[in-house]
Amino acid sequence: MGEYRTTRGEAPPPTARERRHWFWRSLFTTIIVLAIVGFAGAKLKMNRYASATGYVTTAEYAEIRPPFVGIVTEIAHESGARIEPGEVLVKLDTTAAQAAYSEALVKRNVAKSDLLLARLAIEKEKRAIAETKGTFDSAFAMNIKIYDEQLELLTENVRLRDDEVKLAKAMLDACEIKAPLSGRLLRHTFYKGETVKPDMLLAEIFGGGDLLLKLRVPERYATRVVIGQKVRIQFRSSRRLLSSWIEGEVVETRDIIQTDGPQAFRVVVCKVDVSVEKIPPGATADAQIMIGRSSFWASLFGL
C-alpha cells in the first residue's frame, strides 16, 4: 500500500538538483561579493600614521647629568625655578677631587723646584767648564749638550705636572654642576646624599620662547619619517572625550637609533602651535605622524 501524506500548504522539500543549484549559486554570489569588497578595499586609499609619544620642549634646551660618579651634597634649586647661565644647580662631594688637586699642586711645585735647582747647578758647571774651554773644547761641547738635555727633560716634566694640575682643577670645578643656559628648571627625582652616575638625568632646562615637540618614533617607522611630514597631537593633560587633534609638522630628525631598555626609537622634533592649549614645557603627548597613503587593507592589517 502507498503512503498517504497531508500538508497545510508548505512548499515541497527541494530536490537534490535544486539543493545543488542553490549551493553553487550561493558560492558564486559569495565569491563575487568578496571580489568586489577586496577590489574596493585595494583601490580605497587611506592615510597611514606612525604612532609616537613625546613631550613639549623649547628651542633652547639642556639636559643636566653628572660628569662622573659622585655623591650629592647640595641641591641649589627646585623645579620651576628661573635660572641664569653659570648658576650652580647641584654640588657633588669634593673630597677625592680636592685631594687629587692638592697632590697635583705638590708634584708641580716639586718639579719646578727640581728644574730651578738643576738650572742653577748647570749654570755653575757651565761657568766652571768655560774657564778651561781653551784646553778642552770637545769635552766642553759634550757637557753642554748633556746639560741642555737634562734641562729639557726637567722642563717637560714641569709641563706634564701643569697638565695634571689643570685636569685635577677641572675635575674639582666639575663637582659644581652649573646651568649652561637661562630658562626654567625641571628637576628629576634625586636626593641629597644619593650617589649619582653620568647616565642619570638630574634636571632639564627649558629656555627660549619657541615651544617644540620632541617625539620618540618606534624603530619600525624610523626610516619612513622625514622632515615636512604632517603630525597631529593630543596632549594627555588636556585630553577629553571629544578632544580635537592639534596639527603640526616634522622639522628635524635625528640620524641615529636610540635605545631605552627594550625600546628602540628615533627622535624627531615637531613644530606645533600650543598657545591655544597653554601647554607648559615638559607636558607629554601622543602623536600620529602621517607617513603616506596605502590601501584600506594595508592600513587595516598594518602591512
Per-residue model confidence as pLDDT tens digits over 269-287: 888 776 666 777 777 888 8
Judge contact between 73 and 96, C-beta under 8 A. Answer: no
What is the pLDDT, as a whole number, of residue 286? Answer: 86
What is the pLDDT, as a whole number, of residue 71? Answer: 92
Burial letters for 99-126: b for 16+ Cβ neighbours within 10 Å, e otherwise? ebbeebeebbeebeeebeebeeebeeee
What is the pLDDT, as a whole number, of residue 274? Answer: 65
What is the pLDDT, as a whole number, of residue 2? Answer: 57
pLDDT beneath 50, residues of the chain: 134-135
Which single residue is written with the C-alpha cell 620618540? 216
Judge contact between 92 and 73, C-beta under 8 A. Answer: yes
What is the pLDDT, as a whole number, of residue 257? Answer: 84
**C-alpha to C-alpha distance for 225 and 252, rounded to whole angstroms:** 10
Confirm whether pTM is higher than 0.75: no
